[in-house]
A and B are shown apart, each in its own frame.
Chain A
Amino acid sequence: MEIAFYLSGGVAVLATLGVITSLHPVHALLYLIVSLIAVAMVFFALGAPFAGVLEIIVYAGAIMVLFVFVVMMLNPGPLAKARERAWLRPRIWLGPSVLAAVLLAVLLATLWRGDPGPVVEGEMLTARAVGTTLFGPWLIVVELSAFLLLAALVTASHLGQAGSSREPDPTTAREES
């Protein structure tokens, strides 16, 4: 199980390097998904299956897929088809695929050898334990997170509205173009 931890950790580091070195957002996002799945594997290896599953469902599953959709839909047009064909070249998907394959191999190898249990010491953290902590003594943290999201939402909605206030004056517009 220890080797699983190190392999997944390595994959996470490599995939994150891929994120910040990719020039195209879609490539970066592919790497980011692999990186998040690798982090989830790290959680599994550490004996925190709940955190691992959350990582996959919330980050890799929901948020990242949303990101990919938005980025792909941003510039639909006649060029989009040619661009999508370009995305299917092996040079682009080979890197993330290799990293994902390593993760799969780690997972299969761990399953093959049966479940040796977490090597890192400490009891298994269950969903129940997380829930009772969060909504018991840590209730204030949940509320604060809610306010954090609210503040982020207000900021985003304020900054996101275009053209509702006055027109940008011609001098600054010229500067920008």
Chain B
Amino acid sequence: MLTATHLLALMPVILVAATVLVVMLGIAWRRRHTPAALVTAAGLGLSLLALLLVSPMAPIETPLMVIDGLALFAMTWILLAALASIGLAHAYLGGFAGPREEFYLLLLSATTGAMVLVASRHLATLFLGLELLSMPLYGMLAYAFHERRSLEAGIKYLVLSAAGTAFLLFGMALLYAQSGRLDLAGLAASLVEPGVWALSGAALMLVGLGFKLSIVPFHLWTPDVYEGGPAPAVMFLASVSKLAVFVVLLRLVLAVPAFQGLEGVMGALALISMLVGNLLALAQSNLKRLLAYSSIAHFGYLLVALAVVNGATLETGMVYLVTYLVATLGALGVITLMSTPWRGEEATALHEYRGLFWRRPFLAGVLTVCLLSLAGIPPTIGFIGKFYIIALGVEAERWWLVAGIVLGSAIGLYYYLRVLVTLYLPGPRMPRFDAPEDWHRRAGGLVVVGLALLVLLLGVYPIPLIESLEWVMAMKRA
């Protein structure tokens, strides 16, 4: 039974869900773009405050969800990433010719799904959270459905995500057939020595989640969806959706022994993801496609943390995830600003960024910092993440994986630097795309500058991030 304590613990999720209803009723009453965005941001902000209030009470277990340190940590970053997406979406949608307010509805619903997903301790909430995260994303990616590319992105994501879900459900059915339980604790207890069925179930679930994370054999949708979807939707997809799915995969790996039996598989997937992702990114002349392949490579690095399960897995995984999240949000944020306001096309081709430094020096600086962080150069936060991952691999003596990371990073450096060089070349006299004149005074400008500062700050002084993760770990042990 749900008690008052449980409801209080779920308050952050409930607040976001309530905001969906408020925004929907607001739209039904009167269509206003800016108030809808403000209400959305306020709801997400309230939810962040509620997280602060709930955190002293953690960990709390409700019948289907658990609000523990990991869930609180992930929810905080989900909400921050959603806020960043909204800050950029508002200016971007200013030029959109159709109804704009539905975007916020979809974004809020997807955020609710992501928050449920990271807090799930039962396969039912895991499945529904994942669906609630993916379903609005179809709408967000196909939001500018008059454009062929956007519609294509939405449909591709829909079809492949449905295929992934089918794998996931089949895997769950196999786990249930072996153990008769659906909650993670029960699964962990009854599958101490996983049989063939449990292992195949876990493998199928890994396939299903791998689709969402775009790990290599399941990555084919990624570049097209990144390229076609509206930039704020892609920001949300690349940050919130991937973060939530990775956290739930981390939870499964840490809790259920059947997943730890797949260490070898995960290692192999990690290796091919980082190599294939980086190699394919080399040939890209489109910035969004390049970031898509780079995200494939980054999830290859992240899988290393899951392939080596020991005491440091959780900390390493989360540090790397945060570094990826902040830098990706920043880089995609700059693309969004360049394409703002919406006019049917986006500034995605690399040559549109030629000479950006001479026109918009600060914006070029933000992109530079974020790309350097993705490449893992100090003093950015990306270096800290790479350091953690390599330390984990070396400690576990998984030399193949470490070699893969080093090789992948070396290849990665080449294409990130190629973009950076383009930024500082002399530019064309009449650029087709440019950020709005007053971009730094708008919400979106503040968001990208803030993200770039965060990348630098956490790169120089990562103690707050590490301390908050130690708090998460302490709660796990207690």
Contact = CB atoms under 8 A, between A and B. Distances in A.
Interface of A: 136-141, 143-145, 147-148, 150-152, 154-155, 157-159, 161, 164-166, 168, 172, 175-176
Contacts of B138: 155
Interface string B89-127: 000000001110010011001101100100000001100
Contact of B146 (A141, A148, A157, A168): A168
Complex A-B, nearest 7 residue pairs according to Cβ-Cβ distance, in ascending order: A155-B139, A165-B98, A137-B63, A151-B109, A165-B97, A144-B128, A166-B97
5 contacts: A145-B128, A148-B135, A150-B24, A151-B136, A159-B142
B372 interface: no
Contacts of A136: 1-2
B109 A150 contact: yes
A140 B132 contact: no
A141 to B, nearest CB: 5
Contacts of A148: 113, 128, 131-132, 135
B5 to A, nearest CB: 14
Nearest to A140: B64
A161 B139 CA distance: 13
A158 B99 CA distance: 8
A147 B98 contact: no
Given A151-B110, A154-B102, A137 B1 contact: yes
A139 B13 CA distance: 14
A136 B10 CA distance: 16
Given A140-B65, A140-B125, A147-B132, A154 B2 contact: no
Given A140-B116, A158-B99, A158-B139, 17 more contacts: A136-B2, A140-B2, A143-B17, A144-B116, A144-B132, A147-B17, A147-B20, A150-B109, A151-B110, A154-B102, A155-B139, A158-B102, A158-B143, A159-B142, A159-B154, A164-B98, A166-B146
- Candidate in A145, A148, A161, A176 with the most chain B CB atoms within 10 angstroms: A148
A140 B146 contact: no
Given A155-B135, A158-B102, A144 B125 contact: yes
A141 B113 CA distance: 11
Contacts of B154: 159
Contact of A150 (B20, B143, B145, B148): B20
Contacts of B131: 148
